[in-house]
């Protein structure tokens, strides 16, 4: 009996007796008990009540490949080469980097949980089971890395657009790769590239979105954060959210080499969380104070300083408000 079968059964949030489950799957009650223990190793809390059985209180919103495919628009469906959903994995980005990009179209990897989820600058990404979106898209560009400047910023715009498609409001962007909900971090983007600077280049785009984080995770996150629970209230599934993301991201990747970031620049500026505010940029230990003045046509941060406007490019750079840094 695969543990995934039991997981799907318990995802409804109801009690299921061990005896009934054993009969249904043709195994012993001890086998059911062992499968429940394996689910608990994933970080799930399974209640055991004598006379009632096993329950995952509140149920789970599990990812479904058929539901994701059903939510895809025609363009995204055509561009999708493959999609894999894992119960648990080290990192969806790492998995696609191991696989390599498909010769044409997009390779997509999702997971219910990650054991080694990553953000920018080597930070860990808290990845509890069935509580968030952990999605990576692999794509092969022919024009080389130099034509991909600003890609992470464009993806931020597309994530906001996908969320707005589902009615989420009060979204903003922090340069270069964070999505905020009402001033708190909701999502992060990690773009990793390999290949020729001027030739074929494989890109993996990771998107992590907090959907309904368990309260016990709060102490593990080092900055003010938000999730969709307070604004979505179960109005859409994680599978539908994944489909909306792919509907926005895949067509954009198909035109990005020709369009470049400039196509999304105005939209990014309209979502800029720090526009016109005093900020401090930490660039490999060098701190520069100034006023955020948006981004240029290639996605570089425009920082107004006493010596003029400086262009700050990505890499090992962090940005914060001056009052938060004091």
The yes-or-no answer on residue 120 being catalytic is yes
**Active-site residue identified among 174, 185, 248, 265:** 185
**Active-site residue identified among 69, 263, 267, 320:** 320
pLDDT in tens, 68-93: 999 999 999 999 999 999 999 999 99
> CA 80: distance to chain centroid?
18
pLDDT in tens, 267-315: 999 999 999 999 998 877 788 899 999 999 999 999 999 899 999 987 5
pLDDT at 121 over 60: no
Mark the binding-site residues for biotin, compressed into ranges.
Answer: 91-93, 114, 118-120, 185
Domain boundaries in the chain? 3-55, 65-270, 274-325
CATH node for 274-325: 2.30.30.100
Pick from 183, 238, 191, 243: nearest CA to 210: 238
- Concatenated DSSP letters for 138-171? EEEESS-GGGGTTHHHHHHHHHHHHHHHTT--SE
pTM, to two decimals: 0.91
The yes-or-no answer on residue 185 being catalytic is yes
Question: Could you say which DSSP state residue 267 is in?
Answer: H
CATH 3.30.930.10 at 65-270, yes or no: yes
Mark the binding-site residues, compressed into ranges.
Answer: 91-93, 114, 118-120, 185
The yes-or-no answer on residue 320 being catalytic is yes
**Active-site residue identified among 120, 140, 244, 248:** 120
CATH node for 3-55: 1.10.10.10
Read off the tokens for 139: 């794509």
């Amino acid at each position: 009996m695969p543990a995934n079968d039991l997981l799907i059964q318990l995802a409804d949030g109801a009690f299921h007796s061990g005896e009934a489950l054993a009969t249904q799957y043709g195994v012993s009650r001890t086998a059911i008990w062992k499968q429940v223990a394996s689910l608990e190793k994933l970080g799930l809390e399974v209640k055991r009540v004598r006379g009632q059985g096993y329950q995952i209180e509140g149920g789970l919103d599990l990812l479904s490949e058929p539901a994701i495919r059903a939510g895809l628009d025609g363009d995204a469906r055509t561009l999708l080469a493959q999609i894999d959903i894992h119960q648990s994995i080290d990192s969806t980005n790492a998995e696609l980097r191991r696989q390599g990009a498909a010769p044409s179209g997009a390779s997509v990897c999702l997971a219910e949980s990650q054991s080694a989820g990553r953000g920018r600058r080597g930070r860990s990404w808290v990845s509890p089971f069935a509580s968030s979106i952990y999605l990576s898209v692999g794509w092969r560009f022919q024009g080389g890395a130099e034509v991909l400047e600003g890609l992470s910023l464009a993806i931020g715009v597309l994530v906001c657009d996908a969320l707005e498609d589902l009615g989420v409001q009060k979204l903003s962007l922090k340069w270069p790769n964070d999505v905020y909900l009402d001033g708190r971090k909701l999502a992060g983007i990690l773009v990793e590239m390999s290949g020729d600077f001027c030739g074929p280049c494989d890109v993996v785009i990771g998107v992590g979105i907090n959907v309904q984080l368990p309260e016990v995770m709060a102490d593990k996150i080092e900055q003010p954060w938000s999730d969709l629970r307070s604004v979505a209230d179960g109005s859409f599934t994680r599978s539908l959210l994944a489909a909306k993301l792919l509907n926005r991201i895949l067509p954009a990747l198909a035109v990005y080499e020709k369009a470049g970031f400039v196509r999304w620049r105005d939209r990014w500026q309209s979502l800029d969380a720090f526009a016109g505010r005093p900020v401090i940029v930490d660039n490999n230990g060098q701190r520069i104070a100034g006023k955020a003045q948006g981004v240029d046509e290639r996605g570089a941060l425009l920082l107004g300083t006493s010596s003029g406007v400086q262009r700050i490019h990505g890499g090992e750079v962090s940005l914060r408000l001056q009052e938060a840094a004091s």
